[in-house]
Amino acid sequence: MKKLVFIIFLLIGTNVFGQATPKTAKPPTEFVPAGYVVLEKIQGDLNKDNQADYVFIIKGTDRAKFVNDKYRGELDRNRRGIIIAFKNKNQYELVLENRGCFSSENEDGGVYYAPELSVSISKGNLLVHYAHGRYGYWTYNFRYQNSDFELIGYDSSQDHGPVVERSVSINLMTKKMRIRENINQDAEDGGDEEFKETWKKFTLSKPIKMSEIADFDHLDVESLLGPVK
């Protein structure tokens, strides 16, 4: 049974990753694999060498992933991914490739629209931000270290319209977490909240690496922190 599972995994891996991607290139677009298109390009220094690196948000083009929605028509449900290339003199080096870690922009949000993804560079770090309108937001802060992009911070806000019900701020470098919970059940507008603030410590035995994230939709940071006290 284990052999069968392993073989299936290899077959899936071959289908997903396809042919090998070059590790160096002059135009960084050469890192975009066949069967994918670039949705967005972001430039900024990610390794503190004062050179502009590239971040590509890519998307598959498999027609089999298109669906017909009763109300929205034809929708492209191909997943999105990320490619990061560092500039090194007159060429670029591929440092990260994760082809399917983000769901498509056409997911079903139920009674509300699906969370909106945005990726940016700030202070040398890579920010992955999800905005969900009246329901809040969550942001992942990655830094390049140990030959990968490791999660160093996480912030989230669970809202009910303009009222913040719960917010979490996690520093994975200091291994401390702040939780703020609104205890004013009569709050109707932002600013009416009364927050109970709690600080906790955690262990985090293993770093959270972007290259290993299969699906951001299922990334529950709080559950990965280890024992919390």
Dihedral-angle region of residue 118 (phi above 0 means left; psi in -120 to 50 means alpha; beta otherwise):
beta
138 and 229 belong to one structural domain? yes
Work out how many domains the chain is built from and give that number: 2
**Amino acid residing at 33:** P
Domain boundary among 56, 90, 108: 108
Mean pLDDT calculated for residue range 45-65? 98
Domain extent for 31: 23-108
* pLDDT number for residue 112: 79
pLDDT of 218 higher than 90: yes
The verdict on residue 18 lying in a domain is: no
Q: Round to whole Å and give the CA distance between 77 and 65.
A: 5
Both 104 and 127 in one domain: the answer is no
7 — pLDDT class (breaks 50, 70, 90): very low
The answer to whether residue 178 is domain-embedded is yes
**Long-range CB contacts (within 8 A, 24+) of 14-19:** 16/99, 16/100, 17/99
More confident of the two residues 196 and 8: 196
Question: Is position 222 within any domain?
Answer: yes
Q: Is residue 76 domain-shared with residue 157, that is, in the same domain? A: no
Answer yes or no: is pLDDT of 209 > 50: yes
- Computed over every residue of the chain, the mean pLDDT equals 91
Are residues 79 and 29 part of one domain? yes
Domain C-terminal end among 90, 108, 126: 108
Q: What is the DSSP string of the chain?
A: -HHHHHHHHHHHHHHHH-SPPPSEESSGGGGSPTTEEEEEEEEE-SSSSSS-EEEEEEEE--GGGEEEETTTEEEE---EEEEEEEEETTEEEEEEEEEEEE--TT---TTSPPPEEEEEEETTEEEEEEE-GGGEEEEEEEEEETTEEEEEEEEEEEEETTEEEEEEEEETTTTEEEEEEE--TT--STT---EEEEEEEB---S--BGGG-S-GGG--GGGGS-SB-
Buried b (16+ CB within 10 A) or exposed e, 29-51: eebbbeebeeeeebebebbeeee
For residue 5, pLDDT beyond 60: no
Q: What confidence score (pLDDT) does residue 204 get?
A: 93
Residues 98, 142 share a domain: no
Residues 85 and 117 in one domain: no
pLDDT bin (cut points 50, 70, 90) of residue 29 is very high
One domain, residues 66 and 130 = no
Rounded CA-CA distance 178/168 in Å is 6
How confident is the model over 95-154, as pLDDT tens digits?
Answer: 999 999 999 999 987 667 889 999 999 999 999 999 999 999 999 999 999 999 999 999
- pLDDT (average), residues 194-199: 97
Dist. CA 128–CA 121, nearest whole Å: 9
Q: Is 10 a residue whose pLDDT tops 70?
A: no
Are the C-beta atoms of residues 80 and 118 closer than 8 Å to each other? Answer: no
